[in-house]
Amino acid sequence: MPETVLKAPNYFDREFDLTERTIPVGGTPATVIGGAERGPAFVPVTLGSYTDFANKFGNVTSKFVGPYGAKAFLDAKGNELASVNYIRVLGCGANSSSVDISATETEGTVTNAGMQVVGNGTVFASGALQGRVQFLVGKHAVQTNEAFGMPDFTNNSSYNVSGFAADTDTINLVRAVLFTTPDSRFLVLSGAVDAGGVFDPTAYLAAGGTNEAARVGTAGQMTGLFKLVLSCSAGSSFASDDDVSGLKIFSASLDPSSTQYVGKILNTNPVTIASKKHLLYLDYAVDSEVAALSASNSVVTVAVLSGSSNANTFGHTFGEAFGYFNTRYQAPKTPSFISQPFGGIEYDLFPVVIVTGKQIGRAHV
């Protein structure tokens, strides 16, 4: 039963029971093991109707076979009492040899689990690899009042900002992780403008853009913006922005409050990656009031990077290793929230963990 538990002055912990069934379970249950859009994972859940099933695990979809079996069994029972034990599974993998087990122990990878983002082998003059994981990075100026409002950098052992000239000295931050199809890659071009303050395609190179590093616009309609370009070998069948075959050009910003913020203009739906040719895997929103992307007419401040051809300790190049997501599912978990200093020491209090195995979308975070 839902209850209110008093744990400390002015602290109220209220539990809400959302598991009420609309139809009681009964009869001899069928047990179905399979995938689902959401819901508890690796634990059996007993359900008495398809409505209950859809509320818990999501509707029937072509991506998963299990829900079809559960729905067919419940539908066949008609008005009779029926029940289904459904066990949702996630990518567990299939290690079958000592070599597989050794790789899991040393590298964390699991055979037939997760996914890999790999390119098509094309290497550009700069060393960039087509179709590999790319990182959108930028130089940021720590703002004057950052230490008072949200000291993410002044109270951070990864950065030494003591003695920084506020609004001038910069720190380098990764702002987004980008996936592309094997025939595509991202580029950046400077926010060049013409005399009227409008973006000028002919000034790509004149503005200092090197295709992988660029300047941010400081005037006109391109103030605070740069061009994020998706280049695809599919040619005009994909896009022809600015009359250039195979290019899709975005006017992009790294300011979360902007309508042109990368998290708002790029594709975030994995299902459409084949047609969109890209996926914004994640983005790190940094408020401009804390650290603003540096805008300059003389210095490049935004770039697209990828792993190098140097090998890690396991013999994989970093270009390959950044695309290895072939491991078992783990529930999302935040770093620990910390206490106020007690005796000069900050103690870990608790993390936030998703315990249901629910598929988390950007709208749920």
Tell me the CATH number at 16: 3.40.50.11780
Which is nearest to 177 in space by CA: 126, 137, 122?
137
For position 209, what pLDDT does the model report? 43
For position 95, what pLDDT does the model report? 85
The residue out of 286, 306, 326 marking a domain boundary is 306
| DSSP structural state of residue 333 | B
Q: Residue 8's domain spans which residues? A: 4-88
Torsion-angle region of residue 225: left (phi > 0), alpha (psi -120 to 50) or beta? beta
304 three-class SS:
strand
Q: 93 with 54: CB under 8 angstroms? A: no
Q: 188 with 227: CB under 8 angstroms? A: yes
The DSSP H or E segment spanning 68 is: helix 66-76
Tell me whether residue 311 is in a domain. no
Q: Is the pLDDT of residue 335 over 80?
A: yes
Residues 12 and 141 in one domain: no
The residue out of 283, 306, 329 marking a domain boundary is 306
> Among residues of the chain, what percentage have pLDDT more than 70?
77
Mean pLDDT confidence for 11-19 = 53
Spacing of C-alpha 131 from chain mean position: 17
- What length does the chain have? 365
Most confident of the ranges 75-79, 199-203, 299-303: 299-303
> Among residues of the chain, what percentage have pLDDT more than 90?
18
Most confident of the ranges 80-84, 149-153, 172-176: 172-176
For position 174, what pLDDT does the model report? 94
The tally of domains found in the chain comes to: 2
Tell me whether residue 125 is in a domain. no
Q: Is the pLDDT of residue 365 over 50?
A: no
d(CA 342, CA 151): 19
Tell me whether residue 318 is in a domain. no
Q: 334 with 351: CB under 8 angstroms? A: yes
Q: Which of 62-66, 241-245, 260-264 is predicted with the least confidence, judged by mean pLDDT?
A: 241-245
94 three-class SS:
coil
Q: Is the pLDDT of residue 76 over 80?
A: yes
Q: Is the pLDDT of residue 236 over 60?
A: yes
For position 257, what pLDDT does the model report? 93
Mean pLDDT confidence for 293-299 = 74
d(CA 191, CA 206): 10
pLDDT in tens, 100-147: 999 888 888 888 787 888 777 666 655 666 778 999 999 988 887 777
More confidently predicted of 301 and 263: 263
For position 307, what pLDDT does the model report? 84
Most confident of the ranges 77-86, 173-182, 284-293: 173-182
Q: Give me the long-range contacts of 352-357 (CB less than 8 A, separation at least 24).
A: 355/331, 356/38, 356/39, 356/40, 356/41, 357/38, 357/39, 357/40, 357/41, 357/42, 357/88, 357/90, 357/329, 357/331
Q: 289 with 149: CB under 8 angstroms? A: yes
Q: Which of 53-57, 291-295, 329-333, 357-361 is predicted with the least confidence, judged by mean pLDDT?
A: 357-361
Residues 12 and 156 in one domain: no
Residues 150 and 280 in one domain: yes
Listed in sequence order, the residues at least 6 apart from 187 whose beta carbon sits closer than 8 Å to its beta carbon are 211, 212, 228, 229, 230, 231, 304
Tell me whether residue 169 is in a domain. yes
Instruction: Report the alpha-carbon angle 285-178-156, nearest 5.
Output: 40
Most confident of the ranges 149-153, 164-168, 185-189, 329-333: 185-189
Residues 285 and 154 in one domain: yes
Tell me whether residue 12 is in a domain. yes
Residue 205: pLDDT band (50, 70, 90) is very low
Residues 61 and 152 in one domain: no
Tell me whether residue 241 is in a domain. yes
Mean pLDDT confidence for 140-163 = 75
For position 132, what pLDDT does the model report? 84
Instruction: Detail the DSSP E strand segments found in 217-321.
Output: 226-232, 247-252, 278-283, 291-293, 302-306
